[in-house]
């Protein structure tokens, strides 16, 4: 049943995502192409234009994905289609898991596409080298490695945000009136609480690790050693993972208590 | 068939089938379609149709042969008896209606004779 | 065993009780009407049976089982609203039902859709509301369920469609299956009902065999209803 639900969930998102993916990659290609002839002023302007367009497409992908995931969650579990979803012979847990996995998969694919887009647009350019130098300020490790780790944390942060939206919708719709209002409040509240938790974990780390404490507190940034960076990333990931799993179990439990469909 | 909603549907079905039998549209020994078929024909609930058939069976106008289905009774005397009851009812109604407009029984009867 | 049992079911929203002490037993093989004015709790009760709401108190059992995955396999529910994914075509929706319901007869569904002149390649979004409702009816009646629950199936449809709906209900009447029809349009439907349940202000007023009621009151169900619920 889960596979079937997931199939339908993915199918409903893919058409829109593919358009944005195509646009992002397209803009990156054009920007790069025009960049080859940047001596010509007109062409240079086009190159810059498409470079900007690419960046906006990237944001578009992420924002669209997040909002659409939340909207579909709400529509399928509490809107008109909920009359179909909740009367299917599937457990509430499966309904939720399908939405969660759908979010995860589309997020991973989106990150992949965005990575590809950035590579197309910037690999080997002056900006790329500058970014590398900038990363060296943070850590002694190889820029590519550091970038990957930071992107990993970003991924977890967005994944957490996704689920906070789901949690907000679940809690908000337990109310009888002003459901969307409560959903937004609950979502923000849960997100804030979760973020505090992650900060607390990192804060603990900073207490025990000088290099990291200095990194956060001192005004003159000293590059963090790779070992310490690994530790920071590992702990943050663990904190996020714990948060995401805990919320998953809570969400399923709250859903199982019963829904309140208009 | 048009149904009145204030009389039980099954009673109306019983009357309709009784009429068919005494009018000869259904002959003695004729096979009667299944409950489902009849229900679909009259567009009624199969349970209602079943009730009607049970009632007819109680009155011995139809009988069930376990493996072959339901049939109209071969008892022509019984059919004739029901025909008479129905005719009596019509006659009484005629006389009552005529009395209401001022014809006494004799006048009502000879009125028919004249018109025939 | 009773097909559906509601035992001391209460449903409240913010301390306002919509259903109070609802006790109900639905037998197998009957067409039952759930009759009441608008806003008296019919839809709430139906939503409770279909897990779209949870009872404040009391329990609901379908063939002895609580509301859950197993009960949903046995129930075919036609809500009042259009609830199918508007981006799907008719054929895709048939495929969807085939995917999730073992007791869904897709051949029958396609046949009924053909009879209704509905184009399988058309998107739900492009269909009129009436056509969408017909598709939904076909999907529900193509399931070999134990309990069919139809919430206001005749509301807002033309007389020809109304006849079609009543016919479809009668011809798809499985042995042992029951149909629960919730409506406030009694005249059109009473001739196919075995039993009626009157509901008012969240309470069950009566639950009787139709013909018994007719003989006792010497009136149609519609008339009895009007007498009982005079404003």
Q: What is the pLDDT of residues A9-47, one digit of tens each?
A: 999 998 889 999 999 999 999 988 888 887 888 888 888
Q: Which chains share 3+ C-beta pairs under 8 angstroms with A?
A: C
A218-227, A251-260, B62-71, C144-153: least confidently modelled range: A218-227
- Say what percent of chain C tops pLDDT 90: 70
Higher pLDDT, B20 or A134: B20
C148 touches chain A (CB under 8 A): no
Q: What is the pLDDT of residues C60-84, one digit of tens each?
A: 999 999 999 999 999 999 999 999 9
- Residues A111 and A145 both lie in one domain: no
Residue A132 lies in a domain: no
Q: What is the pLDDT of residues A201-240, one digit of tens each?
A: 888 887 877 766 766 666 555 677 777 778 888 888 999 9
A14 touches chain C (CB under 8 A): no
What is residue C18's three-state secondary structure? strand
- Cβ contacts of residue B68 below 8 Å, gap of 6+? B31
A184-188, A200-204, C30-34: least confidently modelled range: A200-204
Q: With an 8 Å Cβ cutoff, are C52 and A8 in contact?
A: no
ipTM attached to this prediction: 0.92
Give pLDDT, residue B58.
93
- Residues A145 and A113 both lie in one domain: no
Give pLDDT, residue C59.
95
- Residues A113 and A169 both lie in one domain: no
- Which has the closest alpha carbon to C190: C15, C32, C11? C32
Query: Which of B3, B40, B47 faces C191 most closely, judged by CB atoms?
Result: B3
Q: What angle do CA B91, B93, B98 make, to 5 degrees?
A: 95
Q: With an 8 Å Cβ cutoff, are C54 and A8 in contact?
A: no
- For the record, the structure tokens of A217 come out as 């507190």
Asked whether B79 and B63 are in contact (CB, 8 A), the reply is no
Higher pLDDT, C134 or A222: C134
Q: With an 8 Å Cβ cutoff, are A87 and C75 in contact?
A: yes
Mean pLDDT calculated for residue range C31-40:
91
Higher pLDDT, A225 or A131: A131
B3 pLDDT more than 90: no
Min distance B94 CA to chain C CA atoms (Å): 24
Which one-letter DSSP state was computed for residue C19?
A: E
Q: Which residues of C touch A84 (CB under 8 A)?
A: 83-85
- For the record, the structure tokens of A101 come out as 């996995």
Give pLDDT, residue C39.
84
Mean pLDDT calculated for residue range B68-82:
89
Give pLDDT, residue C38.
84
- Residues A43 and A151 both lie in one domain: no
Domain span at A85:
1-123
Residue A134 lies in a domain: no
Q: Which chains share 3+ C-beta pairs under 8 angstroms with B?
A: C
**Per-domain boundaries in chain C:** 4-229
Mean pLDDT calculated for residue range C151-174:
83
Minimum Cα–Cα distance from B8: chain C residue: C211
- Say what percent of chain B tops pLDDT 90: 43
Count contacts between B and C (CB, < 8 Å).
52
Minimum Cα–Cα distance from C71: chain A residue: A89
- Which has the closest alpha carbon to A232: A147, A132, A153? A153
C107 pLDDT more than 60: yes
The torsion angles phi and psi of C206, rounded to 5 degrees, stand at -160, 160
Query: Which of C50, C69, C82 faces A80 most closely, judged by CB atoms?
Result: C82
Asked whether A163 and C1 are in contact (CB, 8 A), the reply is no
A90 touches chain C (CB under 8 A): yes
What span, in angstroms and rounded, lies between the C-alpha atoms of B78 and B84?
10
Q: Which residues of A touch C59 (CB under 8 A)?
A: none
Residue A90 lies in a domain: yes
Q: With an 8 Å Cβ cutoff, are C194 and B8 in contact?
A: no
B40 touches chain C (CB under 8 A): yes
Q: How many domains does chain A have?
A: 2
Residue A129 lies in a domain: no
Give pLDDT, residue C162.
85
Give pLDDT, residue A217.
66
Asked whether C201 and C212 are in contact (CB, 8 A), the reply is no
Residue A131 lies in a domain: no
- Residues A110 and A168 both lie in one domain: no
Give Rg (Cα) of chain B.
18
Give pLDDT, residue A152.
92
- Residues A91 and A197 both lie in one domain: no
Q: Which residues of B touch C211 (CB under 8 A)?
A: 8-11, 48, 51
- Residues A246 and A145 both lie in one domain: yes
What is residue A2's three-state secondary structure? helix
- Which has the closest alpha carbon to C81: A27, A228, A163, A262? A262
Give pLDDT, residue C167.
86
- Say what percent of chain C tops pLDDT 70: 99
A244 pLDDT more than 80: yes
At residue C123 the predicted structure's pLDDT band, cuts being 50, 70 and 90, is: very high
Give pLDDT, residue A11.
92
C15 touches chain A (CB under 8 A): no
Q: What is the pLDDT of residues A62-118, one digit of tens each?
A: 999 999 999 999 999 999 999 999 999 999 999 999 999 999 999 999 999 999 999
Give pLDDT, residue A46.
86
What span, in angstroms and rounded, lies between the C-alpha atoms of C164 and C166?
6
- Cβ contacts of residue A234 below 8 Å, gap of 6+? none
Give pLDDT, residue C175.
74
The torsion angles phi and psi of C18, rounded to 5 degrees, stand at -90, -35
Class of domain C4-229: alpha beta
- Residues A182 and A108 both lie in one domain: no
Residue-averaged pLDDT of chain C: 91
Residue A133 lies in a domain: no
- Residues A192 and A253 both lie in one domain: yes
Q: With an 8 Å Cβ cutoff, are C211 and B3 in contact?
A: no
Q: Which of A78, A97, A123 is the last residue of a domain?
A: A123
B47 touches chain C (CB under 8 A): yes
Classify burial at C184, counting beta carbons within 10 Å of its beta carbon; exposed 0-12, middle 13-18, buried 19 or more. middle
Q: Which residues of B touch C191 (CB under 8 A)?
A: 3, 5, 9, 44-45
Min distance C87 CA to chain B CA atoms (Å): 37
Give pLDDT, residue C93.
96
Give pLDDT, residue A220.
57
- Say what percent of chain B tops pLDDT 70: 98
Please report the residues numbered 7 through 26 in chain B whose beta carbons come closer than 8 angstroms to any beta carbon of chain C: 7-11
Strands C147-151 and C75-78: parallel
At residue C172 the predicted structure's pLDDT band, cuts being 50, 70 and 90, is: confident
Q: Which residues of A touch C83 (CB under 8 A)?
A: 80-84
Min distance C169 CA to chain B CA atoms (Å): 9
- Per-range mean pLDDT, top range of A168-172, B5-9, B21-25, C152-156: A168-172
- Residues A187 and A111 both lie in one domain: no
What is residue C203's three-state secondary structure? strand
């Amino acid at each position: 049943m889960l596979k079937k639900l997931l199939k339908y969930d993915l199918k409903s998102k893919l058409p829109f995502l593919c358009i944005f993916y195509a646009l992002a990659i397209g803009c990156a290609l054009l920007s790069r192409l025009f960049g080859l002839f940047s001596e010509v002023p007109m062409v240079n302007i086009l190159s810059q234009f498409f470079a900007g367009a690419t960046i906006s497409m990237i944001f578009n992908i992420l924002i669209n994905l997040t909002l659409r995931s939340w909207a579909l969650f709400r529509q399928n579990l509490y809107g008109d289609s909920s009359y179909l979803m909740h009367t299917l012979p599937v457990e509430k847990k499966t309904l939720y898991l399908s939405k969660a996995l759908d979010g995860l998969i589309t997020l991973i694919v989106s990150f992949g596409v965005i990575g590809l887009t950035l590579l197309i647009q910037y690999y080997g350019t002056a900006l790329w080298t500058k970014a590398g130098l900038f990363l060296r300020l943070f850590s002694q490790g190889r820029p590519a490695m550091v970038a990957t780790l930071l992107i990993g944390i970003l991924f977890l942060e967005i994944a957490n945000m996704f689920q906070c939206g789901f949690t907000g919708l679940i809690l908000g719709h337990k109310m009888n009136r002003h459901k969307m209002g409560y959903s937004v409040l609950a979502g923000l509240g849960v997100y804030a609480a979760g973020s505090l938790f992650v900060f607390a974990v990192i804060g603990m780390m900073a207490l025990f690790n000088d290099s990291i404490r200095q990194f956060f507190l001192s005004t003159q940034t000293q590059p963090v050693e790779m070992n310490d960076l690994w530790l920071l990333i590992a702990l943050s990931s663990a904190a996020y993972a714990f948060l995401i799993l805990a919320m998953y179990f809570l969400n399923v439990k709250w859903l199982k208590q019963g829904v309140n469909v208009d | 068939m048009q149904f009145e909603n204030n009389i039980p549907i099954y009673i109306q079905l019983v009357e309709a089938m009784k009429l068919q039998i005494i009018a000869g549209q259904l002959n003695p020994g004729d096979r009667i379609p299944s409950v489902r078929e009849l229900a679909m024909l009259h567009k009624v609930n199969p349970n209602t149709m079943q009730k009607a058939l049970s009632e007819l069976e109680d009155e011995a106008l139809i009988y069930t042969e376990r493996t072959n289905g339901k049939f109209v009774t071969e008892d022509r005397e019984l059919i004739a008896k029901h025909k008479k009851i129905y005719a009596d009812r019509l006659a009484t109604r005629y006389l009552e209606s005529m009395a209401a407009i001022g014809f006494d029984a004799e006048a009502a009867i000879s009125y028919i004779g004249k018109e025939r | 065993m009773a097909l559906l049992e509601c035992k001391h079911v209460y449903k409240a929203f913010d301390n306002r009780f919509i259903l109070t002490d609802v006790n109900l037993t639905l037998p197998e093989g009957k067409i039952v009407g759930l009759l009441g004015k608008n806003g008296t709790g019919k839809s709430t009760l139906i939503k409770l049976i279909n897990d779209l709401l949870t009872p404040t108190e009391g329990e609901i059992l379908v063939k002895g089982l609580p509301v859950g995955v197993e009960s949903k396999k046995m129930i075919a529910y036609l809500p009042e609203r259009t609830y199918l994914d508007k981006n799907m075509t008719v054929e895709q929706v048939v495929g969807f039902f085939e995917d999730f319901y073992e007791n869904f007869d897709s051949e029958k569904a396609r046949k009924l859709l053909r009879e209704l002149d509905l184009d399988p390649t058309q998107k739900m979004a492009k269909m009129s509301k009436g056509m969408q409702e017909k598709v939904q009816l076909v999907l529900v009646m193509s399931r070999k369920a134990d309990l069919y629950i139809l919430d206001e199936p005749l509301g807002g449809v033309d007389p020809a469609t109304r006849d079609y709906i009543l016919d479809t209900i009668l011809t798809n009447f499985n042995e042992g299956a029951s149909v629960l029809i919730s409506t406030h349009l009694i005249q059109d439907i009473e001739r196919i009902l075995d039993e009626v349940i009157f509901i008012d202000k969240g309470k069950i007023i009566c639950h009787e065999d139709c013909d018994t009621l007719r003989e006792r009151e010497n009136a149609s169900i519609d008339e009895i209803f009007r007498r009982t619920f005079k404003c």
